[in-house]
Chains A and B, each alone.
Chain A
Amino acid sequence: MKVFINGKECEAKQGQTVLQAARDNGVYIPSLCYHPKTGPAGKCRVCVVEVEGMRGLQTSCTVPVKENMKITTNSETVRKAQRLVVDLLLSSGKHDCLACEQNGACELQDAAYMLGIEHPTFSLADTKTDIDDSAEFVYREHAKCIQCGRCIAGCNTTVVNEVLDFGMRGHDTKVICDIDLPMGKSSCVQCGECSQLCPTGSIIDKKTRGKGRHWQFKTVNTTCAYCGVGCQLTLHVDQAANKIVQVTGREVVPNDGMLCVKGRYAYEFPSSENRLKYPMIKKNGEHVRVSWEEALDYTASRIKEIVEKNGPDVFSAFGSGRITNENNYAIQKFTRAVVGTNNVDHCART
């Protein structure tokens, strides 16, 4: 259907909200409580716009588009309202960007930048720092929370782990785990969905703290190393250190950005000091480092010698459910076409 955004004719789909249609057409409306996965909430009121024929300002995340709707996202009235909302949010917590982990990856910062807010005009509210450092992988800082509710919606309706909720009232309102337990003592299974959904630096990945700025990391899309779901994820890599420093879920099939504790947080093993790094041959009962040349020559000659003497069926190979398709194919081709036996199998039976 046809809509007009800031006087420009745009294409929108039936059932879309004004915010979604604007985003699809490249028009930025600051928004904080809306996330495609958790849906419209209509809480933060940052995404207000004017719609011709509708009274007052409308939250664009909750208003569905209609044919020929005329939407204004950049009038002074709109900007004034947006500025006030963001100004109040900035004043109500400790949103100091300098040392914040999410600097450069923060939706509140983006909104303030876009609206040109350098300093909050109100005096800062007395918000307690209230850090929850009790969990192994997820770090929470209440003073950076804007109570958008995305973490709570994510925990309860996206991954349905049902741990987070709002607790207390009024000025004391905060995100709590179970019956307001520290996260590390609650029933939280550390899937990290809340951290991925948090628009500010209030819920972050603890192990990534202090590892560098987001823009310094190279990102690589890949498939998870653990179970058979095959979750799609993005690796954030510190190239100088040759280390993966963070994992986030990609919002595509099959996992829609959701991960489990292993997929999101068990990523350091490739750079572990314990890795096997060099070929080794057992000499006098001890494994001794050798060159690839020596290891390959020795292995090939032993295979040749034993198979020539006993026939190819004394050779058996294990492929693996842990390695790539290409490597498994290579192993079956080697076993069948080079050694000449069908004795190839893998751990599907275990």
Chain B
Amino acid sequence: MTNSIQELQDAKVIFVIGSDTTEAHPVISYFMKRAVKRGATLIVNDPRKIDLTKWAALHVQHKVGTDIAYINGLINEIFKNGWAREQYLKDCTENPDAIREAVKDYPVEKASEICGVPVETMKKVAKILGEAESASVCYTLGITEHICGTDNVKTLANLQMVLGNIGKYAAGLNPLRGQNNVQGACDMGALPNVFHNYQPVDNPAASEKMAKAWGVPSLPTKPGYKMPTMLRKALDGGTKILYCVGDNTVQTEPNMAHTIKELQALEFFVVCDIFPNLTTPYADVILPDTSWGEEDGTFTNSERRVQRTRRAVNPPGEARSHWWVMQELAKRLGKDLGFTSGNAVWEDMRKTATSYAGITWDRIENIGLQWPCPTLEHPGTAFLHRDGKFTRGKGLFSVTKWIPQAEPPDEEYPIVLSTGRRLWHYHSATQTRNSEGFDNIFGEELLEISPVDALKMDVKTGDLVKATSRRGSIILKAWVTERSAPGVAWCSFHFAESCGNVLTIDRFDTVTETAEYKACAIKIEKIGDGEPLGDGILRQARP
């Protein structure tokens, strides 16, 4: 996030797109709803009628995967009405004319045809954004999990730069990060192209610096493979060893049947985790890791805040911290990594990471600090690119063009399936389903179907249906609900026994290799009448 979470409660306009905030980031949704109570205008842009729409001034129900057309249409309208912040464009951005020209291809009328949003609604949204003193854009995986995910993000960045909203309090471009430490995993260099602190591996200076710090003669300078490529290469022998930590690959990657084939093709597969899951059966070696609550360390949250996590209970059996495993394996391969405690690992990292250099465990004993925090006296950074002074110098517009989803619906597979998370469970649900009470509230996956489609298929809530894509099928109960737009169905990937990722498509964004989890084509068949569902389940669909 360019800005901080609590700033949201002071926002004038909040533009939420591709984020089911009340379910996936409930605490952030509290701040959004507080802002509404204080007079902010909330615009929820989502193909689904998510819960947050109840607090929204406007719910824009654009079609799945049409974000670029929709946003470019808004930018076009903003320029047309003179709402663009010309001074900001001149002072703070590099190529404003490029975007001014590019969005001419997306007059609202044309954009409306693609995204299905009425022209009048688009004009209204553009006016709210254009006339607002500032606006905060929040997005999540509904933006990134498309074959055009990178361009989706760039288009939102364009919108915020045209409106002069980057580098301002209670504004900015805010991806709400999905996992407790996905920000930290990136910051720590668990990425194929950069060391920790985003130092490029193919930059000779960075590579030399790290080789010296780590006491090795040299380091590889060719960027590595991204996760989907690693897996794909298992089939042609390019990947022979996969060392997998804290990732239930089978359940969370798209196209489950194919993922299993990839894992089976490996020569040596190590899984380090806290629970047996759908992935562990394929492992040659299973190593038990300590869980949350069992070790000392740090997480970095969505707003770049580094915070302590602590040991509260003793780990079961012989579970160990993973840095210890790395130390022991390295020793056997002839290298001492120098890891003697969690804090020793932190200090080893900190001395070569400028953004993190000022953050010690002592300093964050009570309250976390937000990077960049380059010195021990630095108070941390609440929001980035202050006053439009971008980290890279001037803001750069990237021209984006709308492309259709990888697998559009057709006669055989007429329904678009989108997937995501529910409030009551988390990812492959190993944690929530091993905690008491959660399966009582929501114990099996439901396929959300629009009443329009349900009528055609003669399906009612509670009926058993079979959802089939070109990659597989799952059997689950139907939930007929207006949360789904006509032609769109939705389910989560929480339940091993009826997981959305059996159906999802393994087609990826070309830059990030993020899969198009949010759009694939399926067909739905009714296979049996069912009992109506209990109150608990339907509680989410608030009256």
* Chain A interface residues toward B at CB < 8 A: 136-137, 157-161, 178, 184-191, 207, 218, 220-232, 235, 237, 242-244, 252-256, 258-263, 265-272, 274-282, 287, 292, 295-304, 306-307, 310, 312-350
Contact = CB atoms under 8 A, between A and B. Distances in A.
B48 interface: no
Given A158-B30, A207-B437, A342-B201, A269 B291 contact: yes
Contacts of A336: 195, 201, 210, 214, 219-220
Nearest to A156: B37
Contacts of B253: 350
B502 to A, nearest CB: 15
A306 to B, nearest CB: 5
Given A279-B286, A336-B220, A253 B367 contact: yes
B462 interface: no
B532 interface: no
Contacts of B396: none
Interface in B412-470: 423-426, 430-432, 434-438, 440-441
Interface stretch (B95-103, B158-166, B223-231): B223-231
A187 B313 contact: no
A334 B332 CA distance: 12
Contacts of B542: 187
A223 B188 contact: no
Contacts of A160: 30, 33-34, 36-37, 55
Given A343-B230, A349-B226, A265 B434 contact: no
B220 A340 contact: yes
Contacts of B301: 223, 228-230, 254
Nearest to B541: A187
B247 A318 contact: yes
A323 B289 contact: yes
8 contacts: A157-B37, A266-B431, A267-B435, A270-B291, A314-B241, A320-B190, A332-B188, A337-B219
B288 interface: yes
B293 A222 contact: yes
Given A276-B286, A349-B228, A331 B24 contact: no
Contact of B180 (A188, A230, A256): A230
B539 A185 contact: yes
B6 A276 contact: no
A279 B289 CA distance: 9
Contact of B268 (A190, A303, A321): A303
A252 B27 contact: no
A201 to B, nearest CB: 20
A342 B229 CA distance: 13
B320 interface: yes
Q: Is the interface of A mostly helix, strand, loop or mixed?
A: mixed
A331 B186 CA distance: 12
B27 A255 contact: yes
A56 to B, nearest CB: 34
Nearest to B202: A342
A326 B285 contact: no
Contacts, number: 476
B224 A230 contact: no
Contact of A338 (B25, B222, B333, B368): B333
Nearest to B35: A160
Contacts of B185: 319-321, 323, 325, 328, 346-348
Contacts of A261: 26, 423-424
Contacts of A318: 190, 227, 230, 242-247, 249
Given A229-B27, A345-B230, 9 more contacts: A159-B30, A178-B543, A189-B540, A227-B426, A316-B242, A320-B247, A325-B188, A325-B297, A347-B247
B188 A228 contact: no
Contacts of B430: 269
B226 A227 contact: no
B226 A299 contact: no
A244 B436 contact: no
Contact of B313 (A224, A237, A258, A320): A237
A320 B285 contact: no
Given A319-B190, A332-B189, A296 B332 contact: yes
Contact of A343 (B225, B244, B274, B543): B225
A325 B350 CA distance: 11
Interface in B231-251: 233, 237-247, 249
A59 B233 CA distance: 71
Contact of A275 (B228, B291, B307): B291
A237 B314 CA distance: 11
A190 B189 CA distance: 37
A267 B300 CA distance: 20
Contact of A342 (B222, B243, B327): B222
A259 to B, nearest CB: 7
A328 B307 CA distance: 15
Contacts of A136: 437-438, 440-441, 536
A235 B286 contact: no
- Nearest first, the 6 closest Cβ-Cβ pairs linking A and B are A277-B317, A230-B301, A319-B190, A324-B297, A320-B246, A228-B177
B432 A262 contact: yes
A299 B285 contact: yes
B193 interface: yes
Nearest to B253: A350
Interface string B304-330: 011111111111111111110111111
A266 B427 CA distance: 13
B354 interface: no
A314 B239 contact: yes
Given A159-B30, A332-B196, A137 B227 contact: no
Nearest to A189: B423
Contacts of A263: 27
B183 interface: yes
Contacts of B438: 136, 262, 265-266
Given A187-B539, A259-B27, A299-B270, A292 B318 contact: yes
B188 A319 contact: yes
Contacts of A325: 181, 184-185, 187-188, 297-300, 306, 346, 349
A344 B225 CA distance: 7
A187 B543 CA distance: 8
B497 interface: no
B317 to A, nearest CB: 3
B426 A262 contact: yes
A287 B226 CA distance: 29
Contact of B178 (A191, A227, A335): A227
A249 to B, nearest CB: 9
B512 A282 contact: no
A286 B534 CA distance: 40
B208 interface: no
B474 interface: no
Given A300-B329, A343-B230, A326 B224 contact: no
A230 B368 contact: yes
Given A157-B34, A244-B293, A334 B326 contact: yes
Given A226-B426, A277-B316, A253 B225 contact: no
A295 B214 contact: no
Contacts of A335: 243
B28 A229 contact: yes
Contacts of A227: 24-25, 176-180, 426
B322 A254 contact: no
Nearest to A339: B333
A220 B310 contact: yes
Contacts of A266: 426, 431-432, 435, 438
B76 interface: no
Contacts of B441: 136, 190
A125 B99 CA distance: 72
